[in-house]
Structure 1
Amino acid sequence: MNTRRLGRTDIHVSELCLGTMTWGSQNTEAEGHRQIDMALEAGLNFMDTAELYAVPGSPQTSGRTEEIIGSWFASSGKRDKWILASKIAGGGSKHIRDGRRPDGESIRLAVEQSLSRLRTDYIDLYQIHWPSRGHYNFDNSWTYAPQKQQTADVLGNIEDMLETLGALVQQGKIRHIGVSNETTWGITQWLRIAEAKGLPRLVSVQNEYSLLRRHFDLDLAELSHHEDVGLLAYSPLAAGILTGKYADGTVPPGSRADYQGGMWRLNEHSEAATQAYIALAREHGLDPVQMALAFCLTRPFLTSVIVGATSTEQLATALGAADCVLSPDVLAGIEAIHRRYPRPI
């Protein structure tokens, strides 16, 4: 398994990262443990979770994923084999601190709770799950309104969070910091304030990226190049759409759309684009899942692709993407389809 440098640190993470967000809802503890074992055997050293998981987040499920990871650490004694990433919820989830946005006080509390659930004394990468000020990620790009933000409040909140994160780094409870679902301006402010105040520097941004969602190709790619803030790509299969299993309106039993009662990424635009990508993969004798993941791995700003699965069979297919090399003809075909369907979700 190839590795890539995490920001400007001395840490190198596997180019595939084990996603965990279904453990504790769609997956049992035993299934989560089997996936950890399987990923470790395949050469992965990077695993991502969050206090909100398992999804959909609820009083019954949130925190359960971290507990499953913690029980694996405790039973295996192999905490040192993993670079572990977790996140604090970005606010608005009423069952997590009454929906309070992250600030210095809530970060201290969230880190202590995550450490307890994970049964570890440190988290390698601690991330802010989403900006509380509003952002264009998830399904928000159609209603994004940055003109409503209060600049002084946003910057004061970032500084408050950075000061606490810096103290936690000094205490050894977290090693590095990152953000998720962030914008170019937002990342720039995190970097600017950190430099001015001598506080920890962002090492990564975890945003959605796939054949169907390529926002990162533009100004975020420029920032990533110049500032060494690499992308941790989540939903590289667009929550399963790029597998083709939702073709022609099909919702397979046990799928994410079935489990959650629908999915915003599914629409007539995403279906047309998906059909084109699957046809391209089959034309070249490729597995559509591996082609989609391998494409992400070709991007110059990419640090790691987060792959999640609800079965070991699905995980095995995803892990095979590490050995999938896309020809110039395949890459040209992908760009031609992207030109036709630039914003399908």
Structure 2
Amino acid sequence: MEYTHLGRTGLTVSRLCLGTMNFGPHTEEADAHRLMDTAHERGLNFFDTANSYGRDSDGNFQGRTEEIIGRWFAQGGGRRERTVLATKAYANASDWPNDGKLSALAIRRAVEASLRRLQTDHIDLYQMHHIDRATPWEEIWQAMEVLVAQGKIIYVGSSNFAGWHIAQAQDAARSRHFLGLVSEQSLYNLLDRTVELEVIPALQHYGLGLIPWSPLRGGLLGGVLRKEREGTRGRSGQGHTAALLAKHRDRIQAYEDFADELGTDPADLALAWLLSRPAVTAPIIGPRTAAHLDTAIAALDLRLDQKTLDRLDELFPGHQPAPEDYAW
């Protein structure tokens, strides 16, 4: 396993982050526990979750995924101590006022509930799942400072922020002599490269680590057309993902053909490309089995030369930093 620091911090994390969003809805608890044990055996120490993961079939908030992780921690054996635990807050736990978003009261309630479900006394990386435009940064940072002082959280991160939100947050934190954000979790993959315009330049400027989510774009970059021919295509054949495949089918076929030329798996190629990108700390992977986990780990050994990177840019054009991308 390879390790790196999370942004400008001294915190050491694995270069792949275990995503847990499937725990509960698609991965049974016993299987999730085995998968987390296997992740530790393979050297992954960075796990990501959220208080909103594990909703029931009607979409009701349950926090089930955090509970599954909490019962795994409760088994002992150094499971909690060996894990850099990241979770998130923002989603509404109910339709009652102050039961969601990022007011100081909502943050306090959310962190206490997550700590109970996770059966731990602290969260290593506490992330804001979305920007809250109604709450001033002074209030948010005051709430986070209290949690740090109480030892309930150690670092603060963002998720799905725009570049100017990151700048706002860091400016407000600096005025309070507070560390501020240390990471941003964004949608980033070969098909979705919008963050290259302003988010990644902001991360580089402020020293934040980038934790890309959906690195395989719901399976579209994981050999979906080959699986379609083999009859093994899974959830990538449903809903929005199916519409994306119809739109980009020729491009994805060319991508899979290129992976074949290189003698590598399309999923490995997509992860290796992300690992080569500026500011990227650890893509979030969502394996359902130990075999899927081992496949993702194999991407760490794949080094892409400039010719390969150029070809990927031809297949999936990216962005220059703004404003050069759209102006002189």
Relative to the length of structure 2, the TM-score reads 0.88
Question: Counterpart in 1 of 2:16?
Answer: 16
Q: 1:116 to 1:265 in 2, by over 3 A?
A: farther
Query: What letter is aligned with 1:238?
Result: R
- Alignment equivalent of 1:263, drawn from 217, 240, 252: 240
The correspondence of residues 138-177 of structure 1 with structure 2, limited to 5 A, is: 153=134, 156=136, 158-177=137-156
Query: What letter is aligned with 2:260?
Result: R
Can you give the 5+ residue segments of structure 2 that lack an aligned partner in the other structure?
321-328
1:47 equivalent in alignment to 2:47: yes
**Larger CA deviation: 106-115 vs 309-318:** 309-318
- Alignment equivalent of 2:300, drawn from 299, 314, 322: 322
1:306 equivalent in alignment to 2:295: no
Query: What letter is aligned with 1:295?
Result: W
1:71 equivalent in alignment to 2:71: yes
Can you give the 5+ residue segments of structure 1 that lack an aligned partner in the other structure?
134-152
1:280 equivalent in alignment to 2:258: yes
Query: What letter is aligned with 2:175?
Result: A
Query: What letter is aligned with 1:245?
Result: V
- Alignment equivalent of 1:203, drawn from 162, 175, 182: 182
1:192 equivalent in alignment to 2:150: no
The correspondence of residues 285-300 of structure 1 with structure 2, limited to 5 A, is: 285-300=263-278
Residues 269-313 of structure 1: CA deviation (Å, up to 9, x unaligned): 333332222111111101101000010000121011111122332
Q: Distance in 2 between matches of 1:285 and 1:330?
A: 12
- Alignment equivalent of 2:201, drawn from 222, 231, 240: 222
Q: Distance in 2 between matches of 1:196 and 1:105?
A: 22
- Alignment equivalent of 1:181, drawn from 160, 165, 174: 160
How many aligned positions are there? 318
Contact 2:8 2:209 in 1 (8 A): no
Contact 2:224 2:236 in 1 (8 A): no
**Larger CA deviation: 331-340 vs 276-285:** 331-340
Kindly report the root-mean-square deviation, in angstroms, between the aligned alpha carbons of the 2 structures: 2.7
Question: Counterpart in 2 of 1:31?
Answer: 31
Q: 1:123 to 1:199 in 2, by over 3 A?
A: same
Q: Equivalent pairs: percent with the same residue?
A: 38
Q: 1:340 to 1:75 in 2, by over 3 A?
A: closer
Question: Counterpart in 1 of 2:116?
Answer: 116
Question: Counterpart in 1 of 2:83?
Answer: 82
Q: What's the CA shift for 1:44?
A: 0.9
Q: 1:227 to 1:284 in 2, by over 3 A?
A: same
Q: Distance in 2 between matches of 1:171 and 1:18?
A: 27
Relative to the length of structure 1, the TM-score reads 0.84
**Larger CA deviation: 304-313 vs 42-51:** 304-313
Query: What letter is aligned with 1:16?
Result: L
Contact 1:163 1:199 in 2 (8 A): no
Contact 1:23 1:68 in 2 (8 A): yes
Q: What's the CA shift for 1:60?
A: 5.5
**Larger CA deviation: 273-282 vs 115-124:** 273-282
